[in-house]
Structure 1
Amino acid sequence: MSLDPWGNGRLPQSGQVPGMLAADADRERTVDVLKAAFAEGRLQQQEYEHRMSTAYQARTYGELQLLVRDLPQGPSPMSAQMSPPMGYVPRTFLPAPPRTNTSAIASFVCGLAGTFTLVTAIPAVILGHKARKEIRSNGEAGDGFAVAGLVLGWIVSGFLGLIMLFVMIGMVSGSG
C-alpha cells in the first residue's frame, strides 16, 4: 500500500495529491471561491486580500485547498472522469431563479379547493388568466401552476354548470 503525503495510507477523495503542482486555472477557481465568500460576507476585507495574494502565489493543490477549506465551496480540481460539461458555471455564480407568480399559486390552490367546495372554481379561472398575463409580461415562473388552476377551475365550473342544468330541468319537469 502506498502512503499519501500525509502518511495516513490513503489519497485525498478528490484524486489530487496536495503536493501536485497547481495550474493557473486552479488558482482562478480558488480566487472565484474567495470572491464569492467575500461578497457573501464570509470573509473580512483584510483576510480576503491576504487569501487572494496567497492564492496567486500558491504552487500546489494543498496550498489552494488550505485557503478555501473553511468555505462552503472549495477549488474543484477536475479529474478526467468527473469533468463538467462545456459551459458549466458553478451554482454560486448563476443568477437567482425567477420567482414564482403568486397569482399562479393562488389559482392552483383555488382550483384544488374547488374540487371539494365548488365555490372557488371561478376565482381559479380568473386568477389563472391574470397569472398567465403577468408571467408573460414579467418573466416570472409558475405557468404550470396557472394552467393547472385554469384547467381545474374550468372542469369544476363545467361540472357545476351541469348540476345547475339538471336541477333546473328537474324543477321544470316536476312543476308541469
Structure 2
Amino acid sequence: MSQPPPSPRRDNPLGPTAQALRVSDEEREQAVQMVQNAYAEGRIDHAELDHRVGEALNARDRSDLSGALRGLPPAPQRTATRSAGVPAPGPDTSRPAPSGSERLWALAAHWSGIFTLFLVPALIAMTKGRTSEFVRTQAWEATNFHLTFIGANIAVGMATAFTFGLAGLLFVPLAMVWLVLTGMGGLSAAVGNRWRYPWNVRVLGSGH
C-alpha cells in the first residue's frame, strides 16, 4: 500500500512553493535584526537569542527563515522583497540617510557659528538647504541656537547693569556652554544625526 504524501507544515502559511525560495544575505541580516530586537524587548532569553541567530544565519530557504522568526511579531517598518514571503524587517527608510556632502554642510552650519554667529548658518540654510532637507533643518537649528545665545548675552548684560556687575559672572559659563553644545552639534550632524540643542528658541525655519 502506498503511503499518503506528507501534509504541509502547519507553521507554513505561505505554502511549499513560496517557502522553497532561497533567501538572500540581506534577508538573513534582517531576520537577525528582528531576533535581536525581540531579545532587547524581553521576548526571548539569551540562549534562545543565540539559537535563533544561528538559525537565521544558516537559513537556506524561507522555511528555515520562518523557523528562526517563529512566534515573533513583524517589524513595524518593512521593505519590499522581490517575492512574497517573510516580511523584510529593517530600519525606517522614510528618511534617507544623509550623504557625506550633506553631513559636511551640516557640520559647517553648526561650527561656522563660532566665528560668524547666525550669519553663515542662515546662509547655508537658504542655499544648500534648498536641495537637502537634512542640511536645511540642521542649518536652521544652528541659526536659532546662535540667535538664542545672542539673546542670552543681552539678557545677562541687562542683568549685570541691575546687579552692579554681579550677573556679569554668568558670561563665562554661558560662553562655555555655547561652545560645548556647538561642538556637539557639529559632531552629531557629521555622523548623520538630526541634532537638536537642549536650549533653543526656534523661530526661523520652524515651518520646515
> TM tier, shorter chain?
0.3 to 0.5
The structure with the larger Rg is: 1
Instruction: Tell me the TM-score normalized by structure 2.
Output: 0.33
